[in-house]
Amino acid sequence: MTHTQNAIKSVYYLIALILLNTGQAMGESTSPDNAPVKFGFTKSMFVDLNAADTRAAVKSYAMLLASNNDLTISDSPGILDGAEAVQESFAKGTADIISLTTIEFLALPEGATHPRIICASMGGTFTEQYVLLVHKDSGIQSISDLKNRRLLIYSSLRGSISPLWLDVLLATNGSPEPAKFFSNITPVSKPTRTVLPVFFHQADACIVTQNGYNVICELNPQVMRDLKIIATSPPIIPSVTCFRAGIPPLYVERILNAVVDAQHTVSGRQVLTIFQCDRINELNKNQISTVRELLATQARLRGDANPADSALQQPSNPSKTP
């Protein structure tokens, strides 16, 4: 059973546990002073999960936050399809808090969200860095040498900004967008299946998170010996959680307290594994400036390029094998 499958199993256990311990089912009638806090996620947050597992994760996290925090939480609107759906849901008041990729967050209009945001961290840091790897024996020295070559790209929530970074990297070099530059781009669901084909000369290059690459090298030092990094991204925050602009301040405080409390419990840590993180903390909006700068550079160099275009979109069905 995979790590993700184990995490999913813990989610179903968690649902039963919280129901038994709190007796608080979502959807129960509440007074106006205790209206349910409505939260959801964009589907980009669940690259590796199917619809049923996604719904289970959302419901269990809502129930976890509700328990022992004087909150009534609804898992509505649930899963939203991109920034436009988030904007509409905030405008209509059908959502109070949404987790989404940083690109989606930055696509929201000014004034649509509350000033305070929160973010998940992994290994003690909010950020990820991406590395572009090739084999040392390939003769490839720079990204220019990858014209018409085969690229594997790690497709995950933590890797969700890598297509944007890749496009900016190519545009800065005067090259066309990724879909026209590479002969083939294959999304892959695990770091090992992204890196090892390059190691075995089955692919020309790959993009993976620096953390993922470090783990692989620790387990197999020969990978570090035989591969080389030809480009490294700046530190990037892949996703955030934001509130609608008009949410009552008391709700914001309660939710922030609930998030902090939940991550210190065994059940909370189990649920956080679903979202590929180990902690959740409040974030300063200035900390996502790197992604904002990448988008600005892309717009300047590509004109009307859109990060939601097929060349940049994080694939929803990553390949399980290279």
> 30-39, pLDDT tens digit by residue?
333 466 778 7
> ∠87-100-107 over CA atoms, to 5°?
50
Backbone phi, psi, residue 280, to 5°: -130, 130
DSSP annotation of 107 reads T
pLDDT greater at residue 48 or residue 172: 172
Q: Which residue ranges form the domains of the chain, and what is each CATH number? A: 3-124+238-283 (3.40.190.10), 130-236 (3.40.190.10)
Percentage with pLDDT > 90 across the chain: 44
> Is pLDDT at 203 greater than 50 in this prediction?
yes
Amino acid at 172: T
- Residue 173 pLDDT exceeds 70: yes
| Amino acid at site 157 | L
Burial of 228 (0-12, 13-18, 19+ CB in 10 A): middle
Name the more confident of 322 and 202: 202
Interval 45-50 mean pLDDT: 68
pLDDT digits (tens, 9 = 90+) for 102-117: 999 999 998 899 999 9
CA angle 279, 251, 55 (to 5 degrees): 55
Looking only at the bridges linking them, the beta strands covering 150-154 and 184-188 are parallel
